[in-house]
Amino acid sequence: MIENGEQILLRAEGREYFAVAGDEKPMHTDLGIVDLKAVPGREWGDTIASHKGVGFTVVRPRAPDLFRHMKRTGAPVMPKDIGAIIAYTGLCPTDVVLDAGTGSGVLAAYMGIIARKVITCEASEQFAANARKNMQKAGLHNVEVRHADILQEMEKLQGEGLVFDVITLDLQDAALAVPGARKLLRTGGFLATYSPFFEQASAVRAAVETEGFQDIFTITVSEHEMEYSKRGTRPSTRVGHTGFITIARKF
Amino acid sequence: MIENGEQILLRAEGREYFAVAGDEKPMHTDLGIVDLKAVPGREWGDTIASHKGVGFTVVRPRAPDLFRHMKRTGAPVMPKDIGAIIAYTGLCPTDVVLDAGTGSGVLAAYMGIIARKVITCEASEQFAANARKNMQKAGLHNVEVRHADILQEMEKLQGEGLVFDVITLDLQDAALAVPGARKLLRTGGFLATYSPFFEQASAVRAAVETEGFQDIFTITVSEHEMEYSKRGTRPSTRVGHTGFITIARKF
Amino acid sequence: MIENGEQILLRAEGREYFAVAGDEKPMHTDLGIVDLKAVPGREWGDTIASHKGVGFTVVRPRAPDLFRHMKRTGAPVMPKDIGAIIAYTGLCPTDVVLDAGTGSGVLAAYMGIIARKVITCEASEQFAANARKNMQKAGLHNVEVRHADILQEMEKLQGEGLVFDVITLDLQDAALAVPGARKLLRTGGFLATYSPFFEQASAVRAAVETEGFQDIFTITVSEHEMEYSKRGTRPSTRVGHTGFITIARKF
Amino acid sequence: MIENGEQILLRAEGREYFAVAGDEKPMHTDLGIVDLKAVPGREWGDTIASHKGVGFTVVRPRAPDLFRHMKRTGAPVMPKDIGAIIAYTGLCPTDVVLDAGTGSGVLAAYMGIIARKVITCEASEQFAANARKNMQKAGLHNVEVRHADILQEMEKLQGEGLVFDVITLDLQDAALAVPGARKLLRTGGFLATYSPFFEQASAVRAAVETEGFQDIFTITVSEHEMEYSKRGTRPSTRVGHTGFITIARKF
């Protein structure tokens, strides 16, 4: 049963809208006005009619929906890369994660859906504010967006005696945060960095080696889509190069 | 604190071993014998000495550890593909998942770490038995391995009124299971299929279109590793083609 | 020394123009008017001034110049694929080549630059006319563009007792032309087909196997460009999938 | 008609042998002894019987045959990369080419088949000797292998007033030879460098920019093979990363 205040995804005729069940303000769409106060008490998957009689299916938003609907402040980490980070760090529901370089918060949100807690640091106040709104919109109360310099924040977190299972860095100068990441990681925990440029990846690579991380590897992930049409089938590039991912483990 | 009966990963000098904390039988290794009865009560990350004085670090196993240590009965789905399936279905801790074509159980285990419950069906009795052992070894009590024909099992599950958030198919004849998958999926839920061969992917693709799935796409994911050496850096093929992944959503 | 009537490439300030040395008509450009009658007798690499005093360097056009300047009637075969066809067939200056599916003539032109003689067949009269102009413009007198159905033309060529060292097919129904290609190829000669779609490639593949070709392989070639900028270096996809190339040899 | 002394390729039952028509020494094979003195006067494509009655087809060797049969002293440049170099430089039969870093001579041989003349320099005396034998075996009398340091050789060639249409560098320190290459290239001519490692490619890139080359780009070419089997069709990596190719033009 859908409860009052829950995030919902409404979908009709290929269009979709994020909303909150029970919102006093009705939702205006090209397919008519939808009374959101009528949603609480209904079941997930039910259809709600607009005043024009168009049926909107109500579903619980999932991560790919957040990806499409979060307001972006730059190029987000793509699902192919997020998936690789999740798989190679073995992200799980008991994890406490530190993320730096929030940006729009796409990676933090994906991790927040799976992990117990995510603290994500963003140096730009404007980006941090936007990411905070994105988390609110997504109903991700376990993702805390901090407007902070990651190096200073790492010292502070260390002072508080906090330990993380996974640390992710999507920063220009990620290499500088590697020593702090090592101190804050639990033994057996994973560091994952994402670097669009080769030179950044090399700097991170050198840093994780210097800091004594183990099981280090650096990869790029690419994705090709099969295009099915009447003329035939062919591969195309869905997402080409986006970044170098370095995975390293603390022992 | 590590409790009696918990799965542990012991690591020393680059070697690693799976074990159970409190096991009556000591663990024999090249680096000496480790008394597993001494483990419960210790903290994660602590070091336990073998009778030869070699220190073994004890950590909680994470998904990549399971991937390396599960006994395989065939080519497993690789992390790059598992990651894509997790990211594109938005797998989350409240999900109930149906998986078919268990094989060694690698995909089921990865999903079991994140999801609430995974039912995985395997047609081969021998493979099912092996996968069951793998889940036990991994301490994944929420992954139920069923020795069953997926088409028959789907009818049975439907009779029981069960509904799934995500269904994954890694079967030669995955296309045949697509209609059943549609019936068992929750509205807004995702189907993900994995097909090593092009012809299988095309059959799945036709089936998901016929069954009225939406948001359909078929991708291949490839992974290149950057090789860092004294001579320089160069990309190499870490994992080439493994399979075609088709994602489709029920509305 | 540049002779009267030779094709020339004029280049100044990053712009370039094709022209004919000795042309009565002067060449009008944004950088001034160039008197083409003044070109014969000059050396390759010399600079010719426009009436505005801008120096145009005169060079002999090379294949990549033709690629950029030929008038296109559709998507041409790309240099990466042309290169693979040249390398895998071992195209050489004594070769006589049959090409079908001329299109704009880019592949035929590239081969004409290397081989002794290229006969290229195009079913569309309009495309054939355009390709003929392209060859003229390129000064490729050894490339003969025929407006013809390739199956009929193959029978005719066979009747004339002609034999080819290399046959290239860039046709939707290339599979249908495989038996004729086998008859027209010299022993030890190569067939190369180019198919944008998977299903076409499979049909060609089945045909070359049925016809008893040897050393068969089917590849796709992809090209990534390294982007060098002040921010750093990263790979990008310069040209993704274009087509499946099947190489087969007659023995 | 096959003449005395010509290089021939003999092929039977999937095996193949290089030989010289008219050689006094008969060729010993698993399929019997072949009398090479009987070959001159026969036609290309004819079949010659061994003393065991096995028919060997005699064909004129083509570039891919040389690639397989040249004796290697290291990892050769692969056909996919050779093809790209040929296509992007527009190599043609009137070209005079300077090549440095001969290695086994595979690239020089491929270019020698197309171009008028190739001078190729190799710093290792042993490699140069091997490459010379390879050229002899291939009948490539227009490929001159020089045992020389390329920097010194470039000065010497400059002193002789020689000019090249295409210069190719497959050297660890290719960047150092870029200024000399610029001096030796004809206006409108192409430089192509091949660098296995990223750092080398970056150094070359910086050098060609400093030297004022134009139309610069750096690419990697990869090749995937479609595997056709009874189980189905799937792509595989035929040749992954081999090197970075930088193309630059002199104006």
- Is A199 at the interface with chain C, CB within 8 A? yes
DSSP H or E segment with residue C205: helix C198-210
Q: Are residues D40 and D101 in the same domain?
A: no
B205 in a structural domain: yes
Q: Do B62 and A190 touch (CB under 8 A)?
A: yes
Q: Are residues A232 and A108 in the same domain?
A: yes
Summarize the confidence of residues B42-65 as an average pLDDT: 95
pTM for this model (two decimals): 0.94
Q: Are residues C27 and C114 in the same domain?
A: no
- Is B161 at the interface with chain D, CB within 8 A? no
**What pLDDT does residue C98 have?**
98
Q: Are residues D122 and D192 in the same domain?
A: yes
Chain A residues near residue C235 by CB distance under 8 angstroms:
220, 240-241
Instruction: Write out the two tokens for A14.
Output: 């290929």
**What pLDDT does residue A241 have?**
85
Distance from CA of D220 to the nearest CA of B (A): 10
- Is D42 at the interface with chain C, CB within 8 A? no
**What pLDDT does residue A103 have?**
97
Torsion angle in degrees (nearest 10) through CA of C39, C41, C47, C49: -40
User: Using 50, 70 and 90 to split pLDDT, how confident is the model at B98?
Assistant: very high
Closest CA to B249 of A224, A48, A65, A84: A65
Residue A144: CATH number of its domain: 3.40.50.150
**What pLDDT does residue D238 have?**
80
Beta strand D7-12 with D55-59 is antiparallel
Q: Are residues B37 and B136 in the same domain?
A: no
Q: Do A89 and B64 touch (CB under 8 A)?
A: yes
- Is B200 at the interface with chain D, CB within 8 A? yes
Q: ∠ at Cα D76 (A222, D113), nearest 5°?
A: 110
Q: Are residues D106 and D152 in the same domain?
A: yes
Q: Do A199 and C232 touch (CB under 8 A)?
A: yes
Cβ atoms D115, D92 nearer than 8 A: yes
Other Cβ atoms less than 10 A from the Cβ of B48: the count is 19
Q: What is the phi-psi region of residue B138: left when phi exceeds 0, alpha when psi lies from -120 to 50, beta otherwise?
A: alpha
* DSSP state for residue C201 in the 8-state scheme: H
Q: Which domain holds residue C172?
A: 65-249
**What pLDDT does residue A71 have?**
95
Distance from CA of B153 to the nearest CA of A (A): 24
Beta strand B143-147 with B117-122 is parallel
Summarize the confidence of residues C143-162 as an average pLDDT: 97
Instruction: Write out the two tokens for D161.
Output: 């007033």
**What pLDDT does residue B238 have?**
78
A175 in a structural domain: yes
Residue A20: CATH number of its domain: 3.10.330.20
Interface test with B, best of D197, D234, D236 (most B CBs within 10 A): D234
- Is B62 at the interface with chain D, CB within 8 A? no
B2 in a structural domain: no
Please identify, among D23, D38, D59, the residue that sits at the C-terminal boundary of a domain. Answer: D59
Beta strand A143-147 with A117-122 is parallel
- Is D86 at the interface with chain C, CB within 8 A? yes
Other Cβ atoms less than 10 A from the Cβ of B31: the count is 18
Of B57, B188, B221, the CB nearest to A187: B57
Cβ atoms C91, C117 nearer than 8 A: no
Cβ atoms C101, C236 nearer than 8 A: no
Distance CA(D19)–CA(A136), nearest Å, equals 77
D96 Cβ contact list (under 8 Å, min separation 6): D115, D116, D117, D118, D119, D162, D163, D164, D165
**What are C70-121's pLDDT values in tens digits?**
999 989 999 999 999 999 999 999 999 999 999 999 999 999 999 999 999 9
Distance from CA of D63 to the nearest CA of C (A): 4
SS3 C78: coil
Of D79, D84, D198, the CB nearest to C88: D79
Distance CA(D2)–CA(D45), nearest Å, equals 10
Residue C32 in this model has a pLDDT that exceeds 80: yes
**What are D104-146's pLDDT values in tens digits?**
999 999 999 999 999 999 999 999 999 999 999 999 999 999 9
Q: How many interface pairs between B and D have CB atoms less than 8 angstroms apart?
A: 47
**What pLDDT does residue D215 have?**
96
Distance CA(B250)–CA(A132), nearest Å, equals 30
Chain A residues near residue C199 by CB distance under 8 angstroms:
232-233
**What pLDDT does residue B239 have?**
79
SS3 B69: helix
Distance CA(B80)–CA(B223), nearest Å, equals 7
**What are A66-77's pLDDT values in tens digits?**
999 999 998 999
D137 in a structural domain: yes
A129 in a structural domain: yes
Chain C residues near residue D84 by CB distance under 8 angstroms:
79-80, 83, 223
Residue B183 in this model has a pLDDT that exceeds 80: yes
**What pLDDT does residue D204 have?**
98
Burial of residue B135 (CB within 10 Å: 0-12, 13-18, 19+) is: buried
Instruction: Write out the two tokens for A76.
Output: 């987000």
For chain D, which ranges sit under pLDDT 70? none
Please spell the DSSP secondary structure of chain D, one letter per residue: -PPTT-EEEEEETTEEEEEETT-SSPEEETTEEE-GGG-TTSPTT-EEE-TT-PEEEEE---HHHHHHHSPPSSPPPPHHHHHHHHHHHT--TT-EEEEE--TTSHHHHHHHHHSSEEEEEES-HHHHHHHHHHHHHHT-TTEEEEES-HHHHHHHHHHTT--EEEEEE--TTGGGGHHHHHHHEEEEEEEEEEESSHHHHHHHHHHHHHTT-EEEEEEEEEEEEEEEETTEEEEEEEE----EEEEEE--
Which segments of A are annotated as binding site?
104-107, 122, 170
Q: Which residue of A has its CA nearest to C199?
A: A232
C228 Cβ contact list (under 8 Å, min separation 6): D202, D205, D218
- Is C90 at the interface with chain A, CB within 8 A? no
A8 Cβ contact list (under 8 Å, min separation 6): A2, A18, A19, A20, A21, A39, A58, A59, A60, A61
Residue C237 in this model has a pLDDT that exceeds 80: no
- Is A231 at the interface with chain B, CB within 8 A? no
* pLDDT > 70 in chain C, percent: 100
Q: Are residues D71 and D86 in the same domain?
A: yes
Chain C residues near residue D114 by CB distance under 8 angstroms:
91-93, 114
Torsion angle in degrees (nearest 10) through CA of D87, D90, D95, D101: -40
User: Using 50, 70 and 90 to split pLDDT, how confident is the model at C180?
Assistant: very high
For chain A, which ranges sit under pLDDT 70? none
Q: Do A233 and C200 touch (CB under 8 A)?
A: no
**What pLDDT does residue B241 have?**
87
Chain A residues near residue B245 by CB distance under 8 angstroms:
none
Q: Are residues C54 and C121 in the same domain?
A: no
Chains that touch A (3 or more CB pairs under 8 A): B, C
- Is C136 at the interface with chain A, CB within 8 A? no
Residue whose token pair is 């083609």: B241
- Is B230 at the interface with chain D, CB within 8 A? no
Predicted-complex ipTM score: 0.95
SS3 A155: helix
Q: Are residues B71 and B24 in the same domain?
A: no
Q: Are residues B198 and B79 in the same domain?
A: yes
Number of domains comprising chain B:
2
**What pLDDT does residue B240 have?**
81
Q: Are residues A231 and A109 in the same domain?
A: yes
Amino acid at B195: S
Distance CA(D85)–CA(D200), nearest Å, equals 18
Instruction: Write out the two tokens for C187.
Output: 């022993």
Cβ atoms A163, A96 nearer than 8 A: yes
Distance CA(D135)–CA(D127), nearest Å, equals 12
What b/e string do you get for B184-196 counting C-beta neighbours within 10 Å, with b at 16 or more? Answer: bbbbbbbbbbbbb
A153 in a structural domain: yes
Summarize the confidence of residues B7-35 as an average pLDDT: 94
**What are B17-26's pLDDT values in tens digits?**
999 999 999 9
* DSSP state for residue A44 in the 8-state scheme: T
Of B45, B88, B235, the CB nearest to A64: B88
**What are C38-68's pLDDT values in tens digits?**
999 999 999 999 999 999 999 999 999 999 9
Distance CA(D183)–CA(C195), nearest Å, equals 42
Summarize the confidence of residues C198-217 as an average pLDDT: 97
Distance CA(D93)–CA(D115), nearest Å, equals 4
C1 in a structural domain: no
Residue whose token pair is 């902070």: A148
- Is B142 at the interface with chain A, CB within 8 A? no
* DSSP state for residue A227 in the 8-state scheme: E
Please identify, among C34, C59, C84, the residue that sits at the C-terminal boundary of a domain. Answer: C59
Of C231, C236, C241, the CB nearest to A235: C241
**What pLDDT does residue D237 have?**
79
Of A199, A231, A237, the CB nearest to C197: A231
Is C185 annotated for ligand binding? no
Instruction: Write out the two tokens for A51.
Output: 């005043």
Q: Are residues C148 and C29 in the same domain?
A: no
User: Using 50, 70 and 90 to split pLDDT, how confident is the model at C238?
Assistant: confident
